């Protein structure tokens, strides 16, 4: 990576009826390869952050989402800035696409244990994300 490159990752806590969407990456060089994770990907040059997260969610899940707010921003292990949005899905019909081999809805109570090591650690250690998931857990089930 050159000094001019500074990767930005956009990811989302996509919710629907209180559940959170997670995806399983195909095998490869990615730190979350073959792990369940929050969907998202790289920001492209000159791309708007909100458009990037919508594009990534659409490519990986075939969902349209409404963006509510940024939940957290931090520098990840691989040196990339990671921006986590809260997005609400337009429906619950999902289809794994792009570099995902599977996707599923999970309850917020089971989110941390369903995620792979990389994102599970983030959910448990990042205060803003953990607080967001705790608020989801307190919401009534549909």
pLDDT digits (tens, 9 = 90+) for 88-98: 998 999 988 87
Which neighbouring-strand residues pair with 65? 89
Contact 97, 39 (CB under 8 A): no
Whole-structure pTM value = 0.89
Sign of CA dihedral 114, 57, 54, 93: negative
pLDDT in tens, 22-68: 999 877 666 666 789 999 999 998 999 999 999 999 999 999 999 99
Q: Average per-residue pLDDT in the chain?
A: 89
The pLDDT of residue 142 is 65
pLDDT band (50, 70, 90) for residue 2:
very low
The pLDDT of residue 140 is 83
The pLDDT of residue 99 is 80
The C-alpha atoms of residue 124 and residue 142 are separated, in whole angstroms, by 25
Which of the two residues, 79 and 61, has the higher pLDDT score? 61
The pLDDT of residue 33 is 67
SS3 20: strand
- Rounded average pLDDT over 74-100: 88
Q: Can you list the alpha helix ranges (DSSP code H) found in 10-116?
A: 49-61, 111-114
Q: Which domains does the chain have, with CATH numbers?
A: 8-138 (3.90.79.10)
């Amino acid at each position: 990576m050159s000094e001019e490159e500074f990767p930005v990752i956009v990811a989302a806590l996509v919710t629907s009826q209180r559940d959170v969407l997670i995806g399983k990456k195909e095998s490869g060089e990615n730190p979350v390869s073959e792990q369940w994770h929050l969907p998202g990907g790289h920001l492209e040059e000159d791309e708007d952050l909100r458009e990037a997260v919508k594009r990534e969610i659409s490519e990986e899940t075939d969902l349209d989402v409404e963006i509510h707010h940024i939940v957290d921003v931090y520098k990840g292990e691989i040196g990339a800035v990671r921006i986590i949005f809260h997005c609400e899905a337009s429906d619950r019909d999902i289809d794994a696409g792009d570099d995902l081999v599977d996707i599923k809805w999970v309850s917020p109570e089971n989110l941390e244990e369903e995620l792979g090591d990389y994102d599970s650690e983030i959910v448990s250690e990042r205060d803003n994300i953990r607080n967001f998931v705790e608020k989801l857990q307190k919401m009534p089930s549909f």
